[in-house]
Every structure is written in structure tokens, then in C-alpha cells.
Structure 1
Amino acid sequence: MNPIEWLFDAQLVIGTQTILWREVIGNLFGMLSAVGGMRRKVWAWPVGIVGNLLLFTVFLGAVFGTPNPVNLLGQAGRQVMFIIVSIYGWVQWRNSRNSGEQTAVTPHWASNKVRVLLGLGLVGGTLALTPIFRALGSFEPVWADAWIFMGSLLATYGMAKGWVEFWLIWVAVDVVGVPLLISAGYYASAVLYLFYGGFTLVGFFIWMRVQKKNSLTIETAFPDPRVKR
């Protein structure tokens, strides 16, 4: 058996539950990508893509004949979305680093207009995708699958743009994702989501601190003449 065949068929049996090693390894790559994102490293994007490819085959359980015959179309579809947006983020961060920056991106707050658009996009996208996912036979509650898909899309795009708020979008995704994955039997992914929820809060505060530090540096170097000191 070659390594690819082993990776595709290998299973971890815990009690009465069967977990694919692809699910475990794919989520580990996702976690490593998140660490790289927190540190603003370009390698976070290609590492994440590898995890996306593995998880795509996991969440289409009925298609690939896995022990868990449940299709989470939003989860599977978001892996494709991740790959597309990650290529965009990879190019953005690499270009930023090549321009002389020590790190790949400078964290900054999104404008109030962007925040409103993000909120409307998350809610509106969930409402629009729910009937589509239901018609395709996604696992109930379908709105949760649609919420995770839209939240993941917006969070990944926000990471590429360097918006500090993208971490909070991930928190909103995890709050819905953990119970959905447990009910669908994807326990390895549920555990990662639970851990990742705490990790995203850490990432948020780290990026917020970096943003504040950069703002103070800019203000010191280029003080606003309108402000009396």
C-alpha cells in the first residue's frame, strides 16, 4: 500500500466511533495554518491548502464511501472556497513581504462601512445559501452549514486583507460549528473547532496589540498637527 492509499483508508477507532486519519491530519494542517496566520507568515497559506484538500474528501462522506456517510456540503464547499481565497491571500502576503516588510501583513481595523458589509454578508449569505444547501441534501440544520460557509469565506478574506476583525468572525463560526459537527459525527473536527475557538481569541488580542503598537509608532513619527500637545 502506497502512502496515498494508506492516508485515504487509514482509520482511528475509539470505542464505537471511527475517525479517519485524513480528518485528523487535515485539521492539524488547518491548525498549523492558523498559527502561521497569527504570526503573519506567508507559509500559512500553502499549509492551509493542503489541509483543505484532505478535508474536502472527508466532508463528502457519502461520495467517497467513508465510515461517516454524511455530506456536509457547506463544509466541503468551503474547502474549495478556502483554496481559492487562500491563493489570493498567498499572493497578497507574498507581495507585501517582497516590498520590504518584515512580516507579510500589517494588522489594521476595518472601516465601519466594511464592518456593516461583513455583517450583512454573513447574515444575507446564510439566508441565501440555506435553501440551496437543503435542496442539495446537506445535513440539518442546514442554516448552520451555510453560516459556517459564509463565515469562513469572510474570515479568510479578512485575513488576506489584514483586518483584525477576521478573528472575531472565526469565533462566530466556531460557536455554530462545534455542535453541528458533533451532531454529524465529525468528532475530530469538532474538537479542533472547540480548541480553535480559544485560539482565535488569542490571535485577536495579539493582532489588536500589534495594530495598537503600529498606530502609536505612526503617530509618534508623524504627529497630527491639529492635536495640541
Structure 2
Amino acid sequence: MSWIAWLYEYTLPVGATGIALREVVGNAFGLASALGGMRRRVWAWPVGIVGNVLLLTVFLGSVFSTPQGTDLLGQAGRQVMFAAVSVYGWVQWRRTRAAAAGTAAAGTGVVPRWATWRERAGVVVVAVGLTAVLTPLFEALGSWPPVWADAWTFTGSLLATYGMAKGWVDFWLIWIAVDLVGVPLLLRGGFYPSALMYAFYGVFCLVGFVLWWRTQRRVLPPGVGTPGMEAVG
């Protein structure tokens, strides 16, 4: 058996049904990507894509044969979305790193800044509107209930990943809002490694928020990159 087949098929003997090894490994890649993102390293994006591919097979249990055998369409869809937005973030951060050579931000992929009030208003509109649109769609497709929670984890993840690519300090707060809903949803569906990762990631996001906030204050001149002001970077 090749290592790829073993990774795909192996089930850890945990609980009544067991846990797919690829769920654990996929979340490990996700955590590594988050650590890289906190440090503003470009490699965070491709590492995250590997985790997205693995977790996509986990959340489409009826297609890829997982111990749970259930589908979380929002969770699965967000893996596809993560991969797509990660390509955008990867390109953006590579460009920023190249432009920052010889400056205080050298070696990093982004200069953190606060989102403007206009950008925040856009986030709220998309958060409410897309969640409302996706909820009946996911319900019709048979997603695991409560379906609104699945729709929000997809929407919030989209917004947080886009915010990370843009370098918004605020993106960490969006992730925390996703985690608050995602942990109970994953526990209800029996995705325990993912739920544990979400819970840990919620604490991790608080640390990342503080670090990016401090970096923004240190790197950018006073008044630049704050809400309502014209941002740079």
C-alpha cells in the first residue's frame, strides 16, 4: 500500500466510529499555515492549500468514505474557497515581500493595517447577505444541521481569508466569530479533531490579533492604516 493510499484509508481507533487520519493531518497543515500567517510568511499559503485538499475529502463523507459518513457542505465548500483565495493571497504576499526588501518589513509578506470603515461595512453586508443566501441552498443539498451555522462558517472563512490576503488586522476577529459557531457544529457532526483545532485556533487568533495590532502600530506611521484613514501597503 502506498503512503497516499494509507493516508487516505487509515482510521484512528478513537470513539465509536473512529477518526480519519487525513482529518488530523489536514488540520495539522492548517495549523502550520496559521502559524506562518501570524508571522506574515509567504509559505503559509501553499502549506494551507495542502491542508485544504485533505480536509475537502473529510467533509464530503458520502463521496470520500469517512468514518462519520456525513457531509458538511459549508466546510467542504470553504476548502475549495480557501484554495482559490490562497492563490490570490500567495501572489499578493510575494509581491509585498519583494517590494519590502530593505525596509523594516523585509522578509514578510504583508504590512498589517486596519480595514477602513467602508471595507468593514462591505464585510457586514457580505456576511449577512451571503449567509442568508447559502442557508437554504445548503439545506436543499442536505448539509448537516443547523444549516445556518454551516453557511456562516463558509461566509466568515471567505471574509477572513480575504482579509488576511489584504493584510487587515481585523481578519483575526472574523476568524474568532467563525470559531464560536464552528466548534459546536463540528462537535455535533462528530468531527472531533477539527472541532479541537477550531477551539485552539480561537485562542490562537487572539494572540495573532495582538501581534498584528502591535506590528501595525510599530511599522506604520501614526494615523496611517487606521479606520477612516487612507491605508498604505
Q: TM tier, shorter chain?
A: over 0.9
| Equivalent runs, 1:31-110 vs 2, <5 Å | 31-101=31-101, 102=106, 103-110=108-115
1:222 matched residue in structure 2: none
3-state SS of paired residue (2:121): helix
- Which of these residues, 134, 138, 153, is aligned with residue 148 of structure 1? 153
Deviates more, 1:133-142 or 1:93-102: 93-102
The CA deviation at 1:67 is 1.2
Larger radius of gyration: 1
**d(CA) in 1 for partners of 2:42, 2:69:** 36
8 Å contact kept, 2:52–2:80? yes
* Alpha-carbon RMSD: 1.2
State the AA in 1 paired with 2:52.
N
Q: Which moved more, 1:9-18 or 1:155-164?
A: 9-18
Report the Cα offset of residue 141 of structure 1.
0.5
| Contact 2:17 2:68 survives alignment (8 Å) | no
AA at the equivalent of 1:97: R
Give 5+ residue unaligned stretches, structure 2.
225-233
- CA deviations on 1:173-221 (whole Å, 9 max, x unpaired) are 00000000000010010000000000001000000000111234798xx
CA–CA distance in 1 between the matches of 2:100 and 2:173?
Answer: 29
Give the fraction of aligned pairs with identical amino acids, expressed as a percent: 61
Quickly say closer, same or farther: Cα 1:180–1:218, change in 2 above 3 A: closer
Are 1:138 and 2:152 matched, yes or no? no
- CA deviation string 1:52-89 (max 9, x = no partner): 00000000011112211110000001000000000000
Structure 1 gap segments, 5+ residues each: 220-229
Q: How many residues align?
A: 219
Counterpart CA distance in 2 for 1:132 and 1:15 is 32
Provide, for residues 138-189 of structure 1, a one-character-per-residue CA deviation record: whole Å limited to 9, x for no partner. 0110000000000000000000000000000000000000000000010010
**Letter paired with 2:199:** L
Counterpart mapping for 1:209-228 below 5 A: 209-216=214-221
Q: Which residue identity is paired with 1:128?
A: V
| Amino acid aligned to 1:59 | F
Matched, 1:193 2:198: yes
**d(CA) in 1 for partners of 2:223 and 2:180?**
36
Residue 19 of structure 1 corresponds to which residue in structure 2? 19
